[in-house]
Amino acid sequence: MAGKHLKKKENLWILFNGKEYCVGLTSEAQEELGTITFASLPKVGQVYQSGEPLIEVEAEKAVNEFASPLSGTVSSINEKINKDVCVLNDQDEMNAWILSFKDVDPEEFAKL
């Protein structure tokens, strides 16, 4: 059952929690990038189309831009990242959530 609510696309995971769509870095992305030292995040209320640049992450091995996996409005940001970017290096990839989307077409999520 969980499989329907958790999807992965291009090194991001997307979890539908019944209300919003949380997006975070997969453990594969963490391994590829190495230790993350900086992340530039969008603002709450910004609207994105799928495929548009969403977040930029600087790490020891690379600077990487991640495209938005969905079209929607940013409804929340993981405030911990601004205090301590190391949260994105967490072994538990669910703790490495970055932001949530609202106003997402469920069909688009289903097709991921």
Q: What is the DSSP string of 15-41?
A: EE-SS-EEEEE-HHHHHHH-SEEEEE-
Cα–Cα distance, 74 to 99 (Å, whole number): 7
The reply to whether 4 falls in a domain is no
User: Which residues, other chains included, contact 64 with Cβ-Cβ below 8 Å and sequence gap of 6+?
Assistant: 29, 33, 56, 57
Q: For the chain, how many structural domains are there in total? A: 1
Q: For residue 78, give the CATH number of its domain.
A: 2.40.50.100
Q: Which domain holds residue 67?
A: 10-111
The reply to whether 85 falls in a domain is yes
The reply to whether 95 falls in a domain is yes
Tell whether the model's pLDDT for residue 2 goes beyond 50: no
Which whole number is the average pLDDT over 33-58? 96
Which whole number is the average pLDDT over 21-28? 96
| pLDDT score, position 3 | 53
The reply to whether 104 falls in a domain is yes
| pLDDT score, position 85 | 95
The reply to whether 3 falls in a domain is no
Which whole number is the average pLDDT over 31-57? 96
- pTM, two decimal places: 0.92
Q: What is the mean pLDDT of the chain?
A: 94
The reply to whether 63 falls in a domain is yes
Cα–Cα distance, 98 to 111 (Å, whole number): 21
